[in-house]
Amino acid sequence: MNQKKRQIQFHTKASLVIYFLKGSLRYFVLSILFASIVSLADLMNPKIIEYTVDSVIGREPLAAPGFVQKLVNGAGGVSFFRSHLWLVALLVLGIALLGAVCRYLFMLFDSLGAETFVQKTRDSLFAHIVRLPYAWHSENHTGDIIQRCTSDVETIKLFISEQLMSLFRVVLLIVMSLVFMMRIHTGLALAEAFFIPVMVLSSVFFHNKVGAAFEKVDREEGKLSSIAQENLTGVRVVRAFGREQFEQERFMRQNAGYTDLWYHLQFILASFWTSGNVYATVRNLVVTVLGVLFCVNGSLTAGGFIAFLSYNALISLPVRGLGRVITEMSKAEISIDRLRYIMNAEEEQETEIRGTGEEVSGINAGPDSFTYDCFRGDIVFSHVSFTYPGRDHEILHDVSFTAPAGKTLGILGATGSGKTTLLSLLNRLYELPDLTEADGTGVPEYRGSITIGGTDIRDIPLPVLRRQIGMVLQEPYLFSRSLADNIGIACDSVTQQELDRAASVACLDETIDHMARGYDTFVGERGVTLSGGQRQRAAIAQMLVRHTPVMIFDDALSAVDAETDAKIRQAMKEQIGDATVLLVSHRITTLIHADEIIVLEAGKIAERGTHEELLAAGGIYTRVYELQTREA
């Protein structure tokens, strides 16, 4: 049975936007409803003014729809309103107040929809990003990811809440205004309508130019964010090597290129807005001149001309806004594509079960039905080969070894020999790739296998696997929280006794005692307030409070002195019980008491044995030992 979680794929921009709109769509629907009422209110007043000027103040017959004439006659006829003009003013004021209330509700629900949309989008992005494979994060800059989740989300929000809502209102207003204009004077309405497609075609022309320019701007902004993020998090390194001037010049070069692209984009937008002003001026001039001529020849009444000019003024900004929406749409399209890139990236498969559906070595169907006995068994690497995605050089080649349950396996090797890669494969930060299905059976072959207690790690749900494997990384990462929060970050709850025990084994207790606030000491971003050795010891304590049956130390004692190294190893030997330990180190003294030691060279196992056996062999291990002994 293969219980592989299916991930939503967003094949179109619209599908992604619709997904993010869940929860906020009702607000936008209400916003559209009240926007429609606002448009109707805006359209009614010019018509009332036309009837008043022509039929109430003037003597023209009332040319109103049947239901309006019935209302007027029921109130006493035109003569009644002629002697009570304040009623007409009150009607105009009432419609204006209705429009104001609906405009307020339109803006309220539009804002609620926009912020709900942003919340849903950011929650979805973050939830998806934290589930993406480690390899994906290695290939994408943190600064660019942050920029996509902030600036691009804001661009889409503005488009939906402002431009898209305005687009609906503008189209409704233009269509209804043209209908009213046609009823006033067909020829003048056609002259008005002629300029609308001209404006739209101009907007479409600028749409592609704005889109291409904005894509470059967005991409360069991501690079700028990456430089800033790297320098802020690595400020100590920059200062230590005196590279402030170099990094400042690097930032300024990127910022100058980014600014030039913005200049180019603003030039395109300025050209578009200026052309819109020219179109609007010419349209107003043509409508005014033709309207005067029609009034002179008697085909248009004074009230009709006033109403027509009111409608013309009413749609002047919306017509220009229609063009602006089209150009802004190009920005939103680029931002949506950038978010689609993230949302379509494949997540780690947390509950994939290979086999026939029967229980496989303690695993039945997922995390809830899993039995943990297998983690007390041997860890076996069998003919494992691995190449990082996008690279040709093979990091590991045909590596086979066994880490017996409850024993300590030491791993020694030069930089780049594949030590960290081995541990990353065991924890499934990287997955063993499938070979092609050359045999035609439809069953994929794998480049070796890794088992724990006889169970292939690809059969173990990821949450289960990682909860049972404790890992101290070569470069420990501490969060901007208290020391206690960092030590217990992987546990739902930690008692003070457990914190003290873990800190004592990691030789961190004396350091904590000398801190003014003890465990409540704030360690800063990436643990900047602590030394390298203190960060490593905090990471060791972080792992020890979990009591995992498998423990991995990836050169985790490299930043501590030899005496502290010996104390930690002795304390751990007494505390870890029957846990299986994989210990990676460049320091022979760290590995000397391991039950077995393997030596990696160029991705292959060059030597293996106990400390004494490797010394007797006179190979790589012996040369490293003699070199470190002379240095000591």
Query: What's the pLDDT score for residue 313?
Result: 76
Q: Is the distance from CB of 543 to CB of 472 less than 8 angstroms? A: yes
Pseudo-torsion of CA 327, 332, 337, 338, nearest 10°?
120
Are residues 184 and 55 both part of a single domain? yes
Query: What's the pLDDT score for residue 112?
Result: 92
Are residues 260 and 407 both part of a single domain? no
- pTM for this entry: 0.66
Are residues 521 and 626 both part of a single domain? yes
Q: Is residue 6 part of a domain?
A: no
Q: Is residue 258 part of a domain?
A: yes
**Of residues 523 and 356, more confidently modeled:** 523
Which of 32-46, 168-182, 439-453 comes out lowest in average pLDDT?
439-453
Q: Is residue 72 part of a domain?
A: yes
Rounded CA-CA distance 423/474 in Å is: 11
Q: Map 201-214 to HEC letters.
A: HHHHHHHHHHHHHH
CB 230: neighbour CB atoms within 10 A?
16
Per DSSP, 458 falls in state G
Q: Is residue 371 part of a domain?
A: yes
Q: Is residue 403 part of a domain?
A: yes
| Single residue among 309, 343, 377 that ends a domain in this structure | 343
Predicted confidence band of residue 539 (pLDDT cuts 50, 70, 90)? confident
Burial of 354: CB neighbours in 10 Å, binned 0-12, 13-18, 19+:
middle
Are residues 319 and 424 both part of a single domain? no
| Mean residue pLDDT across the chain | 78
Are residues 231 and 326 both part of a single domain? yes
SS3 category, 63: coil
Pure H helices in 350-493: 419-426, 462-468, 483-487
Query: What's the pLDDT score for residue 526?
Result: 66
Query: What's the pLDDT score for residue 349?
Result: 66
**Of residues 110 and 557, more confidently modeled:** 110
Are residues 318 and 380 both part of a single domain? no
pLDDT in tens, 314-350: 777 676 666 667 667 777 888 888 899 989 888 876 5
Rounded CA-CA distance 321/479 in Å is: 46
Q: Is the distance from CB of 353 to CB of 530 less than 8 angstroms? A: no
Query: Which residue in the block uniquely carries the two structure tokens 């509950």?
Result: 351
Taking 50 as the threshold, does the pLDDT of residue 366 lie above it? no
Rounded CA-CA distance 77/60 in Å is: 14
Nearest to 287 by CA among 180, 203, 185, 174: 185
Backbone φ/ψ region at 443: left (φ over 0), alpha (ψ -120 to 50), beta: beta
Burial of 14: CB neighbours in 10 Å, binned 0-12, 13-18, 19+:
exposed
Taking 70 as the threshold, does the pLDDT of residue 85 lie above it? yes
Are residues 380 and 445 both part of a single domain? yes
Query: What's the pLDDT score for residue 372?
Result: 62
296: domain range? 13-343
Rounded CA-CA distance 340/329 in Å is: 16
Which of 6-15, 340-349, 411-420, 428-437 comes out lowest in average pLDDT?
428-437
Are residues 523 and 402 both part of a single domain? yes
Query: Which residue in the block uniquely carries the two structure tokens 């360069």?
Result: 220
The shares of helix, strand and coil residues in the chain, as percent rounded to the nearest 5, are 65, 10, 25
- Overall number of domains in the chain: 2
Taking 60 as the threshold, does the pLDDT of residue 83 lie above it? yes
Are residues 371 and 226 both part of a single domain? no
Rounded CA-CA distance 576/593 in Å is: 15
Average pLDDT over residues 456-472: 84
Query: What's the pLDDT score for residue 527?
Result: 66
Query: What's the pLDDT score for residue 109?
Result: 92
Are residues 282 and 382 both part of a single domain? no
Nearest to 180 by CA among 92, 307, 294: 307
Q: Is the distance from CB of 16 to CB of 156 less than 8 angstroms? A: no
Q: Is residue 417 part of a domain?
A: yes
Taking 80 as the threshold, does the pLDDT of residue 259 lie above it? yes
Indicate the angle between helix axes 532-544 and 562-575, nearest 10 degrees. 0
Average pLDDT over residues 617-625: 87
Query: What's the pLDDT score for residue 59?
Result: 66
Burial of 288: CB neighbours in 10 Å, binned 0-12, 13-18, 19+:
middle
Residue 17 belongs to domain with CATH number: 1.20.1560.10
Residues 6+ apart with CB under 8 A from 569: 557, 590, 593
Q: Is residue 589 part of a domain?
A: yes
Q: Is residue 520 part of a domain?
A: yes
Nearest to 560 by CA among 573, 580, 541, 579: 541
Rounded CA-CA distance 369/281 in Å is: 73
pLDDT in tens, 470-527: 888 777 777 777 878 877 777 777 788 888 888 888 778 777 877 777 877 777 666 6
Q: How far is CA 33 from the centre of its chain?
A: 32
| Single residue among 292, 310, 343 that ends a domain in this structure | 343
Average pLDDT over residues 380-389: 86
Rounded CA-CA distance 497/6 in Å is: 43
Are residues 36 and 171 both part of a single domain? yes
Rounded CA-CA distance 288/305 in Å is: 9
**Of residues 358 and 55, more confidently modeled:** 55
- Paired with 597 in beta bridges are 410, 609
Angle at 89 between CA 87 and CA 93, to 5 degrees: 115
Predicted confidence band of residue 104 (pLDDT cuts 50, 70, 90)? very high
Nearest to 433 by CA among 395, 400, 402, 463: 395
Retrieve residue 482's tokens: 């208290």
Are residues 601 and 507 both part of a single domain? yes
pLDDT in tens, 143-162: 788 888 888 898 888 888 87
Q: Is the distance from CB of 399 to CB of 448 less than 8 angstroms? A: yes
pLDDT in tens, 40-78: 887 777 777 766 776 667 766 666 666 666 776 666 666
Predicted confidence band of residue 368 (pLDDT cuts 50, 70, 90)? very low
Residue 430 belongs to domain with CATH number: 3.40.50.300
Query: What's the pLDDT score for residue 288?
Result: 84
Q: Is the distance from CB of 294 to CB of 185 less than 8 angstroms? A: yes
Taking 80 as the threshold, does the pLDDT of residue 121 lie above it? yes
Q: Is the distance from CB of 151 to CB of 218 less than 8 angstroms? A: yes
Per DSSP, 61 falls in state -
Taking 50 as the threshold, does the pLDDT of residue 280 lie above it? yes
Which of 2-6, 215-219, 443-447 comes out lowest in average pLDDT?
2-6
Retrieve residue 463's tokens: 């949450």
